[in-house]
Amino acid sequence: MPRITWQLIRTARRKHPLLPLLLPECRTVEQAFMELRWLMREQRGGGGRGGLKALCQKRGRGWPIQYLLGTQPFGPLEILCERGVLIPRPETEQYTSHLAGHILKHLHPRTQLRIVDLCTGTGCIPLLLHRELSTAGMASRVLGVDISAKAVRLGRRNLEHNKQELSPSVGEDVQFLLGDVLDVECLVKAIERRFQDGGGVVDVVISNPPYISKEGFNKSTGRSVRNYEPRLALVPEGGDGDVFYPAIARAAEKLGAQAVVAEVEGWEQAERVKREWEGSGVWEGVDIWKDFAGIERTVVGWRCAGWEWIRDGPDVVSYRDWEE
């Protein structure tokens, strides 16, 4: 990463007087210019130049641009973002689309799929899954669960916000529920109650739980993440990054799920979670998906041989810089 020199600041100022304000967070003039254009293009409620300047100042201090603009694209959806709820990540976007495509390829189109997303945050995963499946003609019901009332409210608002892009049945098919994933008994009961009307089983449990350890939070998160995103969404209480995974697998088992899919931090945690799930003896097989950057990002388990196809992850397809 280039150092911010006087030279760089002068160059930025010559291009646009507000550009230097963005440099502390954006680092390069190109990135700053791009973000300035996004800020100008998308800022809500006008506010004129003064409004824009205030936005640039905040961005320079590390405010995530998604909180400033109030949105983050997620597949074809526009997910509302606000402080207190984690911003959806591109890795999550990738494996969620991949899972939807994979399901469409391997399951009968008349399947009525039931999916539970634990630790749902903005609700980005349930909404994108439902969108991708219904566009291809597959019916699904998806339930998002979160311990944060703010997240549950935002999930519902996101459903409304994306109504245009979603199928008409989404209002009935996608629901959000307040609940504690670590209290498995209670969680399973609440979910069963929601799904009662049709046999009471769930096909897939997916989750992107808080997975960063206390040490990792201080050492390896970005400044903007550390200072502006909710710690509740990132670090499990007690500071052990692995605590959610046994609970997720147990909930999946009790709900009768055919497959369980969970995001992880990288290869070390992926290996630990894989070992733990294999050791439980519940799953026929457990495997790891890499993300676009080649990092072990998702652990998947399947219950019977008929679901073994789920072991294949998305393609590793990335490059570092334009110059490369």
Partner 1 sequence: MLADRNLDPELRPLAVSDIASTESSLSTLATTITQSLVTPHPFAHLSALVEIRPGAGGSEASLFAGDLLKLYTTYCDDVRNWPLSMVSLTASTEGGDGVQEAIFEVEAPGAYEIFRGEAGVHRVQRVPATEKQGRTHTSTVNVVVLPSFPEVELGEGEEDPDCIIDMKDVRVDVMRARGAGGQHVNTTDSAVRMTHIPTGIVAAIQDSRSQHKNRAKALMVLKSRIAEKRRAEREAEELALRRSVTKVNAGRSDKMRTYNYIQNRVTDHRCGFSLHDLPSFMNGETLDSMIDQVRKWQMERDVENLDTR
Ligand X SMILES: C[S@@+](CC[C@H](N)C(=O)[O-])C[C@H]1O[C@@H](n2cnc3c(N)ncnc32)[C@H](O)[C@@H]1O
Q: Which does 213 bind (CB under 5 to 8 A by kind): ligand X, partner 1, none?
A: none
Name which position in 12, 32, 124, 249 contacts ligand X (CB under 6 A).
124
Task: Select the residue interacting with partner 1 from 115, 297, 299, 300 (CB under 8 A).
Answer: 297
Residue 234 binding partner 1, by CB under 8 A: yes
Cα–Cα distance between 200 and 197 in angstroms, integer? 7
* 88: contact with ligand X by CB under 6 A: yes
Residues 177/182/184/188 CA torsion (nearest 10 deg): 10
Residue nearest to ligand X (CB): 121
- What is the footprint of partner 1 within residues 71-130 (CB under 8 A)? 72-73, 75-76, 78, 86-87, 89-91, 93
Distance CA 278, CA 284 (A): 8
Residue 121 contact partner, candidates partner 1, ligand X, none, CB within 5 to 8 A by sort of partner: ligand X
Under 8 Å between Cβ of 178 and 109: no
Question: Which of partner 1, ligand X, none does 124 bind, CB closer than 5 to 8 A by kind?
Answer: ligand X
| 254 and 186 Cβ atoms separated by less than 8 Å | no
Give the closest residue to 299 by CA, choosing from 265, 256, 275, 270.
270
Structure tokens, 171: 């209002």
* Binding string, residues 214-233; x marks residues near partner 1 by CB under 8 A: --x---xxx-xx---x---x
151 is an interface residue for ligand X by CB under 6 A: yes
Least distance from C-beta 187 to ligand X, angstroms? 8
Closest by CA to 72, choosing from 63, 62, 82, is 82
Buried b (16+ CB within 10 A) or exposed e, 185-213: eebbebbeebbeeeeeebbbbbbbbbbbb
How many residues at the interface with partner 1, by CB under 8 A?
A: 56
- How far, in Å, CA of 37 to CA of 17, rounded? 13
Q: Residue 301: in which H helix or E strand, if any?
A: strand 296-302
Stretches 103-111, 199-207, 302-310, 313-321: which one binds partner 1 (CB under 8 A)?
313-321
45-53, 101-109, 166-174, 262-270 -> range binding partner 1 (CB under 8 A): 262-270
Footprint of partner 1 on this chain (CB under 8 A)? 10-15, 29-30, 33-35, 37-38, 42, 64-66, 72-73, 75-76, 78, 86-87, 89-91, 93, 208, 210-212, 216, 220-222, 224-225, 229, 233-234, 263-266, 291-293, 295, 297, 317-322
